[in-house]
Amino acid sequence: MKTNFAVKGTIKLGVLCLFFVQIGWSQNSDQQQLKNIYDAALTKGKSYDWLNYLSNQIGGRLSGSIQAQQAVNYTKQELDSMGLDRVWLQPVMVPKWVRGIPEFAYFETSPGVTTNVPLTALGGSVATPPSGVKSEIVEVKGLEELAVLGASKIKGKIVFYNRPMDPTLINTFAAYSGCVDQRYAGAMEAAKYGAIGIIVRSMNLRLDDYPHTGSMSYGDLPEDKRIPAAAISTNAAELLSATLQLDPKTKFFFKQNCKLFPDVESYNVIGEIKGSTHPDEIIVVGGHLDSWDLGDGSHDDGAGCVQSMEVLQLFKQIGYKPKRTIRVVLFMNEENGLRGGNEYAKVAMEKNENHIFGLESDAGGFTPRGFSFDGPDSSFEKIMGWKDLFEPYLVHLFEKGGSGADIGPLKNERITLAGLRPDSQRYFDYHHAENDTFEQVNKRELELGAATMASLVYLVDTHGLNP
């Protein structure tokens, strides 16, 4: 009996050793693959050159613009040259909103005594009358205060929303979320009380002279009730607020001639490497190809597009043949409609495609800190087991939370969605403003982001998830 036990014990020990050797081998090979990926990104990356072209040869890529179409053509051509298994354009109808000639604004403390104000129309806003709008101003800290004041105080005035982003929030996206209702719904709500226009403090944590645009909505307001909406720079918001303290009769003038045209056809740009063993399991990695028109959209979201293309490029570079199908999607029209993201999910559903994982980069091309995940707990637990592999690259953040707007429509009970989380401290210095330009993106930071994305996609592809 004793001998028997010993024999059994030896066999068990042997199996156990083999098990640990296998785990060890798999961890070593994962470590090595991540190193290969980061090395390739930092020495043979293409993301920075692609971004240079998108930003400096094409520029701002608002949906429906010539530049958006040029970006479709350019990125398709680059994907075509990468030796992928399939590259195609997915048609989608998008809104076409055009800013027109530059806006003009000032405030007036007494007749003829004016101070010019940097101002930009919000995306989707109606124009002012050709001669502009001018009236007294009502400053509020938000939609609740507007409702308290009501029509008696608001009618015939310009409403000035001036609640700043909360500087104490380390996640600046949380500060943005806490403020952006003023921009998005400010005109719709003020119009109900008879305002003739609204201006909003830019969604920007720092004080500077750049007005930041962004999307807004009139909800179901009929066309003749819609009022013009614009953002002013944070410096201008501070100055205007201080001036109003001294003289509540101060008047504001602004003029803009933006216009919404009928929808036009555009495209999501898609490329894929077919999976070698599970071709029907699809992993999507993407960003949005459209941008606002003020800058060249380098951080938002040129960076996310070129990083997503880079994931496939890096796999080709290091000779990694994925088991599952890896698809890059450059979504059209995230900024003012999300039509590309919705269309992609709709077609995926119609074709009964099995998407197991989606990763989006749409938070700027800054130093990667980690990811946030939205999906089944079992998959999140499995991903947490890979966290240590990212330690050498100073990537630490693995948390539950949102993913990305464009991949959001793919959500179901099985899929895991993730968002790259770069350092967010500087993002809102540039977001939707004229200074979101190529010079603001650091090459290494951009490449590290791409490598971090490729590493996670590699791990999901190699080991699968547990939905």
Cβ-contact 218, 123 below 8 angstroms: no
Does the footprint of Zn ion cover residue 406 (CB under 5 A)?
no
In the complex, what is the shortest distance from the CB of residue 172 to Zn ion, in angstroms, rounded to a whole number? 14
Q: Is 13 exposed, middle or buried (0-12, 13-18, 19+ CB in 10 A)?
A: exposed
Nearer to Zn ion, 272 or 301 (CB): 301
Q: Which stretch binds Zn ion (CB under 5 A): 189-197, 213-221, 246-254, 355-363?
A: 355-363
Q: Which amino acid is at 400?
A: K
- Write the single-letter amino acid at 167: P
- CA atoms of 455 and 420, how far apart (whole Å): 12
At 430, list the tokens. 């540039």
Residue 300 beta carbon to Zn ion: minimum distance, rounded to whole angstroms: 4
If the CB atoms of residues 127 and 405 are measured against Zn ion, the closer one turns out to be 405
Strand partners, 260: 97
Q: Which is nearer to Zn ion, 128 or 298 (CB)?
A: 298
Give the whole-angstrom CA distance, residue 312 versus residue 461: 13
273 phi and psi angles, rounded to 5 deg: -105, 125
145 has catalytic annotation: no
Asked whether position 272 contacts Zn ion by CB under 5 A, the answer is no
| Closest by CA position to 343, among listed 331, 354, 352 | 331
- Nearest residue (CB) to Zn ion, 39 versus 423: 423
CB of 334 vs Zn ion, minimal distance in Å: 6
Non-local CB neighbours of 49 within 8 Å, separated by 6+ positions:
none
Query: Is residue 362 involved in binding Zn ion (CB under 5 A)?
Result: yes
Note whether 300 binds Zn ion by CB under 5 A.
Answer: yes
CA distance 371 to 385: 14
Report in angstroms how near the CB of residue 362 gets to Zn ion at its nearest. 4
- H helix intervals, 135-264: 143-154, 172-177, 181-192, 234-246
**Binding-site member from 30, 139, 189, 301 for Zn ion (CB under 5 A):** 301
CB of 301 to Zn ion, least distance (A): 4
Helix, strand, coil percentages, rounded to 5, for the chain: 40, 25, 35
Cβ proximity to Zn ion: between 132 and 295 the closer is 295
Stretch 305-344: interaction string toward Zn ion, x if CB under 5 A: ----------------------------------------
Which C-beta is closer to Zn ion: that of 139 or that of 301? Answer: 301
The dihedral built from the CA positions of residue 369, 438, 82 and 339, taken in this order, carries a sign that is: positive
Which of 334, 343, 360, 434 does the annotation list as catalytic?
334
Site for Zn ion in 77-116 (CB under 5 A): none
If binding means CB under 5 A, how many residues of this protein chain bind Zn ion?
3
Which residues of 274-415 form beta strands (DSSP E)? 278-288, 324-331, 354-360, 368-374, 397-400
3-state secondary structure of 461: helix
Taking CB under 5 A as the binding criterion, the range among 171-179, 186-194, 267-275, 295-303 that sits at the site for Zn ion is 295-303
188-247: which residues touch Zn ion (CB under 5 A)? none
- The nearest distance, CB 105 to Zn ion, in angstroms, is 26
Instruction: Give me the active site residues, please.
Output: 334
Interface with Zn ion by CB under 5 A: which residues?
300-301, 362
